[in-house]
A and B are shown apart, each in its own frame.
Chain A
């Protein structure tokens, strides 16, 4: 059934949109990532204009992350204190990111810089996660006595302004989550995504949070970042398609609920290995897109 999308100004099959929303929602529920890094390119692929795809993904992320965060909240898997600290950094970071983005646009290579940084970042993250989770997995198989240290101590434990995060059983410097939030905020403004795929691994490996607390805390934080991005996009560019977002959401929220249940059944290292593979596939796709001879050497853009 074709549905006309008022802002995107195209007709698309509503059923395809529902399935797309559900698939991305499922992933976001399992891993606690918003799924924007998958949704945006998929929307572009099925014919939604680039700018509308970016902005509308942010809008549907609001709903998907509310739904996902609530599911984790009911299990007590949201560290509010940690989320608020990261959010503070995140909002400052997104303001900085918008400025960086304007700079990139002026030099005319924003698309390239975005793809390139995506590919490098996702590639490195994915590899690190895959190696770590496979190692843990093998250790389990061999039945080695696993040393259950909560987390490794490193340079960041020497930083000042320490704060206790009870839910995460952490006593660390507030500067680390603040800085992480800032970094993710910057990246999400530049790349047009919620940033969960960077946030989640960083919370596990950098902050040393328990894996169970990570998706809920990340999603809780993404609610606010994506809400801010949606309003900014609507005001600045008028590219938020409410009809498209709502269709994606209906599929997405159901997918997210199923995903978060499914994720709760998986062991930490299985979850991390699966996320690593998803991240690597996206990185490989982006890298391939840049190096493979494009179908069309020419690209068109309508000037408003």
Chain B
């Protein structure tokens, strides 16, 4: 299990050769690379810290694992509301948040924000095979982002990155209790004169651990036995619970 999780990380890490230069203008790491979801999980905080080789600003983009999502739109039809139109988006991050050391628009021009997908407005979501025109698709896209914001998994407020002096920085990333599981990529960008001069991507694994993870895995791989156990334990609980009332 662990090996399977790490394999894509090693692969993605290797995609950033230009940032691994010897002079290392930017270095960053997380206080923890694993968020373990246990029975009492109510959310978690991870501290991202790092150093730059001189003055500059830092922007951090946190993205959860991507998946496909269908957005459906209801219309009023014969007195009731019916799903009439739908758009499927691919590559939708399950979590998205941006952090910056200064107000974004002051340090990064719009085209650069768009290029690096900084901010919800610049998130690239691919609409798959739809007959709707682009302005309608945009409505569906906005609906998706609004919904994810309400769910607390997209943050449209830019979080703070604090600098200690010119070079050291830290930011606290707070994940809600509903944080989706999977491998997250935390992109740290060093910005100078409106340009992204370098970047580093750090993985973060959000995973169920302990009994919960085992229950989940068992349910997936031994579905029939899991189903039978579910029925049996429910029946036994029902029987035991009726015992104290036997002589009623």
Contacts and interface: CB of A to CB of B under 8 A. Distances in A.
A134 interface: no
* Chain A interface size range: 35 or more
A302 B227 contact: no
B230 A11 contact: no
Interface stretch (A85-93, A269-277, A289-297): A289-297
Given A64-B238, A235-B224, A246-B237, A2 B231 contact: no
B17 interface: no
Contacts of B226: 234, 240, 242
B88 interface: yes
Interface string A225-268: 00100111111001010110110011001101100010000000
Given A290-B81, A291-B81, A300-B147, A253 B215 contact: no
Given A298-B71, A298-B73, A300-B71, A2 B215 contact: no
A63 B147 contact: no
Nearest to A70: B242
A302 B67 contact: yes
B40 A240 contact: no
B47 interface: no
A158 interface: no
Interface of B: 37-42, 67-74, 76, 79-83, 88, 140, 143-144, 146-148, 177-178, 180-181, 208, 212-213, 215-216, 219-220, 223-224, 226-231, 233-235, 237-239, 241-242, 244-246, 248
Given A63-B238, A238-B219, A243-B215, 10 more contacts: A4-B40, A6-B213, A71-B245, A112-B80, A112-B82, A234-B230, A235-B227, A250-B241, A294-B81, A301-B70
Closest 5 CB pairs of A and B: A234-B227, A66-B238, A253-B241, A298-B143, A63-B234
9 contacts: A4-B37, A6-B216, A7-B216, A64-B238, A66-B239, A71-B248, A223-B235, A243-B215, A298-B140
